[in-house]
Amino acid sequence: MKLYHSPASPYVRKVMVVAIETGQEVDILGSAASPVNRDATIVAQNPTGKVPTALIDGDQPLYDSRVITQWLAAQQSAVAIYPAGDALWPVLRREALGDGLLDAALLARYETAMRPEALRWEDWLRGQMEKIESSLDQMNAEVAGFGEVDAGVIAIACALGYLDFRFPDLDWRSSRPALADWFKTFSARPSMQQTRPE
């Protein structure tokens, strides 16, 4: 698999963590992905111009991190990134929870880092931050039931890592010690250490 990559993208990080956890090689393709000035090379493969965008089987494109991680999971049977049967649904829901936090965090980041200051909308930013807080509360409530490694906990770990990277002043740990303890342990995994954003 070839992957259009951005080292700061938490969605790319999800794909890379799954690849490492399942022992698969990924060929990295550089990109200049941006929500404002789209990379024409990526747009030729993915009309949204977003990363991650993967190329498989003779350069057939795959896009959206959830699609790419499912493809990677299907290439092997050693690690149940997406378990079978009824165990799948909590994993998918947690993956959606992690991605939902990331969606809100990216919108908040764009609002503060990319939008001209005179055009910023404080109510919009507050709404995104409230989504982040309620998602963190839900994660903390569920953390005792997290599996060792699956798509759900990988998405949650990448979301928490993105908060630390882009929102270092957000003190999400002090009121959620169980989640903080879990993240400290999960972050020590080689897959997380090798994919830390820069």
pLDDT at residue number 33: 82
The answer for residues whose C-beta is within 8 angstroms of residue 127's C-beta and 6 or more apart is none
Distances from the Cα of 121 to the Cα of 34, 118, 125, angstroms = 21, 9, 6
Which domains does the chain show, CATH number per domain?
A: 2-74 (3.40.30.10), 85-189 (1.20.1050.10)
pLDDT at residue number 34: 81
pLDDT at residue number 139: 98
8 A C-beta contact, residue 162 and residue 197? yes
pLDDT at residue number 188: 98
User: What is the total residue count of the chain?
Assistant: 198
Could you give the CA distance from residue 139 to residue 45 in angstroms, rounded to a whole number? Answer: 34
**Residue ranges of the chain whose pLDDT lies below 50:** none
Structure pTM? 0.95
Long-range contacts of 132-135 (CB under 8 A, 24+ apart): 132/101, 132/104, 132/105, 132/108, 132/163, 132/170, 132/172, 133/172, 135/97, 135/100, 135/101, 135/104, 135/159
- Antiparallel, parallel or unpaired: β 27-29 and 2-4: parallel
Question: What's the chain's Rg over C-alpha atoms?
Answer: 17
The one-letter amino acid at 76: Q
pLDDT at residue number 179: 98
As a three-state string, the secondary structure of 38-90 is CCHHHHCCCCCCCCCEEEECCCEEEECHHHHHHHHHHCCCCCCCCCCHHHHHH
8 A C-beta contact, residue 33 and residue 49? yes
| pLDDT tens per residue, range 30-80 | 888 887 888 999 999 999 999 999 999 989 999 999 999 999 999 999 999
pLDDT at residue number 43: 94
